[in-house]
Amino acid sequence: MTIVVMPNATVLKKITFPDNVVNVEFKGPIHKDYTDKQYIKDLPSVHVRAEWRDSTLKKIFVRSKLWKVYLSSNVSEYKHVLKKLQVSPSDKPYGYPKSEPISAEEWGSAVSVVSVESQSELPVGLLMILSNTEEETTMGVVYTLILIIALYALIITEYIDRCLGCILISVASLTLLACMGRLPTFEIITSWIDYGALMVLLGSMFMVAAMSDTGFFEYVTLVAYRTSKGHAWLLIYLLCMIAAFMSAVLDNVTVIMLLAPASIRLCEAAFINTKIVLIMLAMYANLGGSMTPMGAPDNILIIDRMIGDYEINFAYFTGNMLPPCVLCMLTIFGLIFVFVGERIYKIDDYQLERRRAMKKPTREIRNRMKELRRKMLTDKGSWLKPVPNYFNILATVEAYQSPMDLTLLIHIGIAVLFIIAGFILRSLPSIIPQSSFGWISMMAAFLLLILANKPDIGPLLAKIEWRILLYIASLFIISEAVLELGFITWLGHQVVTAVTNVEYNQQIIASMLILLWSSALLSAFFENTAVAAVLMMVCYEIEHADEVNIPLMSLIWALLLGTNFGGNGTLLASLSNEFVAAIAEDHGYKISFMEFFYMGFPIMLASLVVTSLYLITARAIVELGWLGKSLSPGADMRALLAISRRGAAIQDKGHLALLKFYNFTLNQTLPTAAAGHKK
């Protein structure tokens, strides 16, 4: 947790002392060499003690020995210190022998706390980690696994709604924290929710609600069918490419919400398995969205917290992510083509009924079919022959095609250009440093509402998927509860231990591969946006570990690749998967967890293998010196991803990034021992 202590003030944190022992760890601008010294003149510090107090926290019963943690005026001196504090009710009372006797009733309501007293003229902001014993950490890991298993037991069995199941597990996680004496305040719990990510989703939903009336995506799918001449796999390939590259421009959730309904209608008319196509669209939307900072919610979350501390702009991000994404797109389409094969033409009874319910060939449709045949006969340049029922299907789909609202489409185009410009400028902190992706998305939605001049926004609000927003908020609470249970610290230590067993010159690539696979596997069984938020903390843990020397950006690129590609693993792995399932259910198609898992999980593993080979190959090229001069760690990362050849290393400007990341206070100044840094 992050603690902020005002000048010459004291902060109290409640914690249980099962063995009268508490381990206190601080991270931040600390003088590690001076800490534990009795007195250093003119050096700011904090005084730390474990104490027993009365129920009002005003009267001290007993307290441990003083631990002085001296602070550094150099904010780049990021260190961590650890000490075990012991205090027992049998110790001498505070103020003995002048203190008053403590009654049994007072001891019965006594509260154990860790007190942090500032001895600085400036506000102090530090990361503090409290733990009791190794057994407690082990139990925290066990409790985390129980929560995950319980969540997926509810989801896989489909005993209750996914959103309700997630809410119940979030309540269970808070209950476990309460039982361990770590229940946070309501304000802290609400601060665990990433409102920026929710604002991006809400803005996207407003855009979708307006764009669904333009008929643009119906027209796009119709063009894809005309281009493919009705050949199923060519049509699916075109739809997947549309989903991928439009997800890079917009975001994958928006594209899925717009493209899926039009694709359902086309698949029904063309006698193509609708569920398989929808799952493939979700996968390619995940892959395409990974190419740009605004293409996926997990990208937005990570980059929003990195910009300002590191040199990450739109072009640099896209250049790094593009090669592995393109390789995975080509690989997985070939795998799906081989393993699905003729099953793409197998449709269930429900889809067959919907196809029969479509318009029968009216005189208008028959005339359109004749016109299409005449055009085909006169078109000698086409090398691709249409399938037998091509003209019938095309005329039927055209009959359902609603006319495009060009005025509304222009308004939406302006709003989309506003989003793209805002996201690009957001990556340049000197231009709009106080903005966020969430506010840019919401401002674009407001702009669209103004341009559309809708007198009643009730119908738009009715189209918002509030259930999905509540589901994501619950996942954020679960992920932070997992952090409080100690699972993330344990995971970070496991990664560091694994990396230290590797030869020094292979530690960077080893840490990247470990983080790539672990983040992907976790994303497959959690939602990847929540996993990205949690594993960013692991990245900071690894970077600041004394045992290894690994650049933070190397870990961030691996995390981005892992969370994005892991989003294809299961139905719950990404928001686009959730939305495609919700849209399918609205049209009568139920995509179960296991249906998505059987198709998505092997594809995720194939993507990770391709990405791992890509990273290993790029690293080997760097080590062989084929890229020329010796590079520093930051520039080595650019060369490792074989994109940016500028050669200048990314210097670490984010020495307080961890404190910023953990800061629970929104839009406030994060104090440090030396100066205030805005979050």
Task: Count CB neighbours of 117 within 10 A.
Answer: 16
pLDDT band at 276 (very low <50, low <70, confident <90, very high): very high
Q: Are residues 54 and 182 in the same domain?
A: no
Say how far apart CA 274 and CA 267 lie, in whole Å. Answer: 6
Question: Does the pLDDT of residue 403 top 90, yes or no?
Answer: no
Q: What is the mean pLDDT of residues 608-612?
A: 93
Where among 132, 156, 178 does a domain terminate? 132
Question: Does the pLDDT of residue 135 top 80, yes or no?
Answer: no
Where among 132, 154, 174 does a domain terminate? 132
For residue 625 the two structure tokens come to 């010196």
The CATH number that applies at residue 94 is 2.60.120
Give me the pLDDT at residue 629, please.
Answer: 38
Inside any domain, residue 501 = yes
Question: Does the pLDDT of residue 608 top 90, yes or no?
Answer: yes
Inside any domain, residue 450 = no
Inside any domain, residue 124 = yes
Give me the pLDDT at residue 96, please.
Answer: 65
Most confident of 209-218, 268-277, 652-661: 268-277
Q: What is the mean pLDDT of residues 550-557?
A: 82
Q: Are residues 172 and 117 in the same domain?
A: no
Q: Are residues 511 and 605 in the same domain?
A: yes
Q: Are residues 124 and 8 in the same domain?
A: yes
- Cα–Cα separations (whole angstroms), residue 300 to 252, 307, 427, 431: 12, 10, 11, 18
The answer to which of 119-128, 284-293, 590-599 has the lowest mean pLDDT is: 119-128
pLDDT band at 545 (very low <50, low <70, confident <90, very high): low
Q: Are residues 501 and 622 in the same domain?
A: yes
Q: Are residues 536 and 592 in the same domain?
A: yes
Say how far apart CA 51 and CA 662 lie, in whole Å. Answer: 25
- 252-262 pLDDT, tens per residue? 888 888 888 88
Q: What is the mean pLDDT of residues 313-337?
A: 86
Question: Does the pLDDT of residue 61 top 70, yes or no?
Answer: yes
* Residue 605 identity: L
Task: Count CB neighbours of 540 within 10 A.
Answer: 22
pLDDT band at 284 (very low <50, low <70, confident <90, very high): very high
Look up the domain containing 661 and give its range: 146-194+473-665
Residue appearing with tokens 């000197």: 430
Give me the pLDDT at residue 483, please.
Answer: 75
Percent residues over pLDDT 90 in the chain: 7
Inside any domain, residue 673 = no
Most confident of 282-291, 416-425, 566-575: 282-291
Q: What is the mean pLDDT of residues 378-385?
A: 66
Question: Does the pLDDT of residue 58 top 90, yes or no?
Answer: no
Q: Are residues 627 and 532 in the same domain?
A: yes
The answer to which of 315-324, 327-336, 531-540 has the lowest mean pLDDT is: 531-540
Q: Are residues 104 and 167 in the same domain?
A: no
Q: Are residues 30 and 104 in the same domain?
A: yes
The answer to which of 388-392, 468-472, 655-659 has the lowest mean pLDDT is: 655-659
- 296-312 pLDDT, tens per residue? 877 777 776 665 455 56
**What total of structural domains would you count in the chain?**
2
Task: Count CB neighbours of 281 within 10 A.
Answer: 25
Give me the pLDDT at residue 240, please.
Answer: 92
> Cis peptide before 101, with omega less than 30 degrees from 0?
no
Question: Does the pLDDT of residue 145 top 90, yes or no?
Answer: no
Question: Does the pLDDT of residue 601 top 50, yes or no?
Answer: yes
Give me the pLDDT at residue 650, please.
Answer: 28
- 336-379 pLDDT, tens per residue? 988 888 888 888 888 888 777 665 666 666 677 677 677 666 66
Q: Which residues contact 565 (CB under 8 A, 6 or more apart)?
A: 286, 287, 290, 328, 520, 604, 607, 608, 611
Say how far apart CA 303 and CA 489 lie, in whole Å. Answer: 22
Say how far apart CA 543 and CA 312 lie, in whole Å. Answer: 18
- 506-530 pLDDT, tens per residue? 888 888 898 899 889 888 877 787 7
Burial tier of 249 (Cβ tally within 10 Å: 0-12, 13-18, 19+) = middle
Q: Are residues 496 and 623 in the same domain?
A: yes
Inside any domain, residue 648 = yes
Inside any domain, residue 445 = no
Question: Does the pLDDT of residue 97 top 70, yes or no?
Answer: no
Q: pLDDT averaged over the chain?
A: 76
Question: Residue 654 in contact with residue 539, Cβ under 8 Å?
Answer: no
For residue 350 the two structure tokens come to 């429900």
Calculate Rg over the CA atoms of the chain.
Answer: 28
Q: Are residues 530 and 645 in the same domain?
A: yes
Q: Are residues 608 and 491 in the same domain?
A: yes
Where among 78, 97, 132 does a domain terminate? 132
- 625-669 pLDDT, tens per residue? 544 433 333 334 333 333 332 222 222 333 333 333 333 332 333
Is 519 in a helix, a strand, or coil?
helix
Say how far apart CA 48 and CA 3 lie, in whole Å. Answer: 12
pLDDT band at 248 (very low <50, low <70, confident <90, very high): confident
Q: What is the mean pLDDT of residues 71-92?
A: 75
Inside any domain, residue 659 = yes
Inside any domain, residue 214 = no
- 444-455 pLDDT, tens per residue? 888 888 887 777
